[in-house]
Amino acid sequence: MAAGGSGLQDGEKITTDGASRSQESRTVAPVRSPFVTRLLPAPAETVARLEVPRGGKDGLLSVREAAEQLGLCPATVYGLCAERAPPHIRILNAIRIAPADLAAFIGARRVGT
């Protein structure tokens, strides 16, 4: 070992004093069956009540949903929103588009009608 007990040097072996240092294993927390039953599927009426409505309360569409309806990638819809088309609502970093505004946007760009 190095002078002053600063640690091991390259090639030095670790030695022990030979004392047994095993610890008994113990359970940290008992397993309770109610925890397991809470992870099982709930009845259908409970699941239906907990579902998140698609499009929010007013049926607003996310950029991804609007992109799916337009057949575009979400990046293109973000670009259109940056150009202020279609009309949209921005809440912090979230952009939402009303289905009626999306339909009007499609109608205004229809060619040959």
User: Peptide bond before 86: cis, by omega within 30 degrees of 0?
Assistant: yes
Tell me the average pLDDT of the chain.
75
Cα-Cα end-to-end distance for the chain: 90
The model's confidence at residue 6, banded by pLDDT at 50, 70 and 90, is: low
- The predicted pLDDT at position 39 comes to 55
Q: Which of 53, 23, 1, 79 is nearest to 61 (CA)?
A: 53
2 pLDDT higher than 50? no
Paired tokens of 83: 């150009």
How wide is the angle at C-alpha 73 spanned by C-alphas 69 and 77, nearest 5°?
Answer: 75
Q: What is the Rg, in whole angstroms, of the alpha carbon atoms belonging to the chain? A: 31
Q: Which residue has the higher pLDDT, 87 or 41?
A: 87
Domain segments of the chain as ranges? 61-108
At residue 23, the 3 state secondary structure works out as coil
The edge-to-edge listing of strands for the beta sheet with 89-91 is 61-62, 94-97, 89-91
35 pLDDT higher than 70? no
- The pLDDT tens digits for 49-79 are 555 545 555 689 999 999 999 999 999 999 9
Mean pLDDT of 16-21: 65
List, in order, residues 6 or more apart from 14 with CB less than 8 Å away. 8
Q: What single DSSP character describes residue 94?
A: E
Q: What pTM value is reported for the model?
A: 0.49
Q: Which residue has the higher pLDDT, 27 or 112?
A: 112
- The predicted pLDDT at position 1 comes to 46
